């Protein structure tokens, strides 16, 4: 093959056949169709050691030692039945009834979704979840559910981790057969940032239910009931649990802020119950529900509806543990918490702390404290692998009650501001965020509506726009961020109280806004046709999973398929190798498939040739191998 390539190569035909020619023509060594797993593996590592991982400095983070994680023993231990069996045997209504009968506080562990989404940009890899999953299953069978999917995890898995979120679900399900899995579904936005046609949302629910999802926490980013209808209905149809949410904003204790008062939430909760919700979620995405407000809200909701109530909050202010305790006291059925080492700051409050707080009381969750500690210890080690993705926050900040930025967005906004050269203006950005919220008429802020507010705040700061009047006046001649255009067009749904008409006019520049559900207007996607197109284009037998994922994120999926073709399944690498590659002389074992292990040692990184390719030398199972990697610097 090599010789065939040489004799057909234009430079060979021109007579340039000295040895330098071979050396600086790495393409001669690239036999795409023949490249095996081992070659793909060293190409991946070669690329990481030369170019690093996008978005973080190259090489291992200074001052952090990566220790191997300690996994509690499970060999020979049986898995007790848990909530998964209750749902499978009694259905969603049966599960809801069971929830209400429990005296103990039911706990959802968010470590594998919202915690890492809020603490380190959603980067936790499947490998770091599956290694501890059996221990969770065996040692904490009283857990109500694991939130381990949805929100940003779907996109980030494909886009940055180059692994399939579906594979994550399958592997976790194999290890945790006894506990419910739970995901966050952004209503008509599913696991994306934009509205999808109804058939995409329905099909996504149908396939994910088939693949192992149990509870769908459904919300609309403007609390617009119409935006949640299709998802609630479809989850009911497939026999899974529809946990429909009220997104909490404002402050029910502040009588001056009457837009989102207690009555507003109670009315919405009753509507959701009527629409077929099995469980009500209180989604406090920014951690704005104050402890005594939780008492009022939970009591009022308990009086008003019959379905169980599940409380989700973020600890940005550092008040959240008290709020959880108040919600528990007021009779909330279930709460979201994260393992201690993955808790607090913009994440959820500590599960381990709550176990101690409720120990010996009638609301004791019944989870073994010592075992929960071991699981937290595991994640403490794992968390170091992700150090460069941490937001840098060192303490809680009660200022969140002023700016109302959701946990996940807060930890992202700072790096976003830095990347725009506005790092030193973070305080202004937070203030502007609150001002933009006022300009928009005080809206619910959660993905994707929160992005509109964040993007507009950055837009105003970058263009030195101070007031709403200036925004309307100067905006007439400016292009607005895509998110803002989509919002004012009605593509994210309808905010309570409508859109500010003057601003809507300058943003849309003559385009019509809609007032119906966008999903109704969007053409259905031909998923079977899409599946065939993907199979032909990427040369493999695509499944309905590939098709639905592609329908949600076409470009991301294209890059993902190309990456798999080029480098194989990179989910098999340990996280330090995946993000930082190897040091010179470092040797690792990589099990590329069951029973097939590669021993890889990095020997040297050479100087780039004139084309910018560096030879990277390895020893692969004891045999010298070199790959040529384009240095992108």
Question: Interface residues with Zn ion (CB under 5 A)?
Answer: 114, 285
C-beta of 155 vs 163, nearer to ligand 3PY: 155
Closest distance of CB 500 from ligand 3PY, Å: 24
Closest distance of CB 313 from Zn ion, Å: 8
Name the token pair of 68: 């191997």
Name the token pair of 619: 């020893």
Q: Which does 39 bind (CB under 5 to 8 A by kind): Zn ion, ligand 3PY, none?
A: none
The H or E element spanning position 387 is none
Closest distance of CB 435 from ligand 3PY, Å: 22
Contacts of residue 592, defined as CB under 8 A and 6 or more positions apart, other chains included, come to 37, 38, 41, 568, 569, 572, 598
Question: Interface residues with ligand 3PY (CB under 6 A)?
Answer: 114, 117, 151-152, 184, 186, 285, 406, 408, 446-447
Closest distance of CB 262 from ligand 3PY, Å: 22
C-beta of 42 vs 288, nearer to ligand 3PY: 288
**Beta pairing partners, 539:** none
Distance from C-alpha of 327 to C-alpha of 106, rounded to nearest angstrom = 12
Cis peptide before 448 (omega within 30 of 0): yes
Q: Which does 156 bind (CB under 5 to 8 A by kind): Zn ion, ligand 3PY, none?
A: none
Q: Which does 227 bind (CB under 5 to 8 A by kind): Zn ion, ligand 3PY, none?
A: none
C-beta of 61 vs 151, nearer to ligand 3PY: 151
Closest distance of CB 168 from ligand 3PY, Å: 16
Q: Taking a C-beta distance cutoff of 8 angstroms, is the pair 114, 184 a contact?
A: yes
C-beta of 184 vs 268, nearer to ligand 3PY: 184
C-beta of 84 vs 314, nearer to Zn ion: 314
Closest distance of CB 527 from ligand 3PY, Å: 24
Q: Taking a C-beta distance cutoff of 8 angstroms, is the pair 317, 400 a contact?
A: yes
Contacts of residue 240, defined as CB under 8 A and 6 or more positions apart, other chains included, come to 87, 92, 205, 209, 213, 214, 215, 216
C-beta of 114 vs 175, nearer to Zn ion: 114
Query: Could you tell me the CA-to-CA distances from 277 to 163, 249, 580, 607 in Å, in that order?
Result: 32, 21, 45, 62
Closest distance of CB 347 from Zn ion, Å: 9
Distance from C-alpha of 611 to C-alpha of 267, rounded to nearest angstrom = 66
Distance from C-alpha of 41 to C-alpha of 546, rounded to nearest angstrom = 23
Closest distance of CB 396 from ligand 3PY, Å: 18
Name the token pair of 254: 């502040």
C-beta of 201 vs 582, nearer to ligand 3PY: 201
C-beta of 319 vs 504, nearer to Zn ion: 319
The dihedral through the CA atoms of 253, 254, 255, 259 has a sign that is negative
Q: Which of 336, 287, 284 is nearest to 315 (CA)?
A: 287
C-beta of 118 vs 137, nearer to ligand 3PY: 118
Closest distance of CB 186 from ligand 3PY, Å: 5
Sheet holding 587-593, edge to edge: 587-593, 596-605, 613-620, 623-630
Q: Which does 205 bind (CB under 5 to 8 A by kind): Zn ion, ligand 3PY, none?
A: none
* 303 exposure class (CB count in 10 Å sphere: 0-12, 13-18, 19+): exposed
């Amino acid at each position: 093959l090599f010789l065939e390539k040489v004799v057909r190569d234009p430079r060979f035909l021109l007579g340039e056949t000295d040895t330098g020619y071979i050396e600086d023509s790495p393409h001669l060594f690239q036999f795409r169709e023949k490249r095996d797993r081992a070659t793909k593996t060293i190409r991946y590592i070669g690329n990481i050691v030369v170019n690093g991982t996008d978005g973080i400095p190259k090489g291992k983070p200074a001052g952090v030692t990566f220790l191997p994680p300690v996994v509690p023993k499970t060999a020979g231990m049986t898995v007790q039945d848990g909530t998964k069996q209750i749902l499978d045997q009694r259905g969603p209504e049966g599960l809801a009834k069971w929830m209400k009968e429990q005296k103990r506080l039911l706990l959802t562990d968010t470590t594998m979704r919202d915690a890492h989404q809020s603490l380190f940009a959603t980067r936790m890899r499947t490998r770091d979840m599956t290694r501890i999953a059996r221990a969770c299953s065996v040692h904490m069978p009283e857990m109500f559910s694991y939130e381990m999917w949805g929100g940003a995890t779907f996109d980030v898995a494909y886009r940055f981790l180059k692994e399939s979120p579906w594979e994550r679900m399958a592997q976790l399900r194999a290890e945790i057969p006894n506990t419910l899995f739970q995901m966050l579904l952004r209503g008509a936005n599913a696991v994306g940032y934009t509205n999808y046609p109804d058939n995409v949302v329905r099909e996504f629910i149908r396939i994910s239910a088939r693949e192992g999802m149990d509870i769908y926490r459904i919300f609309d980013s403007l609390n617009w009931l119409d935006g949640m209808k299709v998802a609630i209905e479809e989850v009911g149809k497939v026999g899974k649990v529809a946990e429909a949410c009220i997104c909490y904003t404002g402050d029910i204790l502040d009588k001056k802020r009457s837009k989102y008062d207690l009555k507003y939430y109670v009315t919405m909760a009753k509507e959701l119950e009527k629409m077929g919700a099995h469980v009500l979620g209180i989604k406090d995405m920014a951690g704005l529900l104050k402890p005594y407000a939780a008492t009022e809200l939970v009591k009022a909701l308990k009086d008003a509806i019959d379905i169980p109530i599940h409380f989700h909050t973020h600890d940005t202010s550092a008040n959240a543990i008290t709020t959880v305790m108040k919600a528990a006291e007021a009779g909330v059925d279930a709460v979201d918490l994260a393992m201690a080492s993955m808790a607090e700051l913009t994440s959820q409050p500590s599960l381990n702390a709550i176990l101690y707080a409720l120990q010996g009381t009638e609301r004791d969750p019944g989870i073994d404290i010592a075992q929960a500690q071991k699981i937290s210890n595991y994640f403490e080690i794992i968390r170091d692998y992700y150090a460069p993705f941490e937001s840098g926050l060192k303490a809680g900040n009660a200022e969140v009650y002023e700016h109302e930025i959701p946990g996940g967005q807060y930890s992202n906004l700072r790096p976003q501001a830095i990347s725009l050269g506005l790092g030193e203006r973070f305080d202004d950005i937070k203030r502007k965020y609150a001002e933009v919220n006022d300009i928009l008429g005080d809206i619910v802020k959660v993905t994707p509506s929160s992005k509109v507010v964040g993007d507009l705040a950055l837009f105003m700061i970058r263009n030195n726009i101070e007031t709403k009047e200036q925004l309307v006046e100067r905006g007439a001649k400016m292009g607005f961020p895509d998110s803002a255009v989509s919002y004012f067009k009605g593509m994210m749904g309808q905010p309570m109280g409508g859109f500010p008409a003057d601003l809507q006019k300058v943003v849309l520049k003559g385009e019509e806004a809609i007032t119906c559900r966008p999903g109704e207007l969007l053409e259905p996607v031909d998923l079977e046709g899409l599946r065939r197109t993907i199979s032909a284009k990427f040369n493999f037998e695509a499944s309905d999973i590939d098709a639905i994922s592609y329908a949600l994120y076409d470009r991301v999926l294209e890059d993902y398929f190309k990456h798999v073709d080029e480098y194989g399944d990179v989910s098999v690498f340990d996280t330090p190798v995946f993000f930082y590659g190897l040091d010179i002389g470092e040797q690792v074992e990589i099990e590329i498939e069951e029973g097939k292990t590669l021993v890889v040692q990095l020997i040297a990184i050479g100087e780039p040739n004139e084309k910018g390719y560096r030879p990277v030398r390895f020893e692969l199972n004891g045999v010298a191998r070199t790959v040529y990697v384009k240095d992108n610097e």
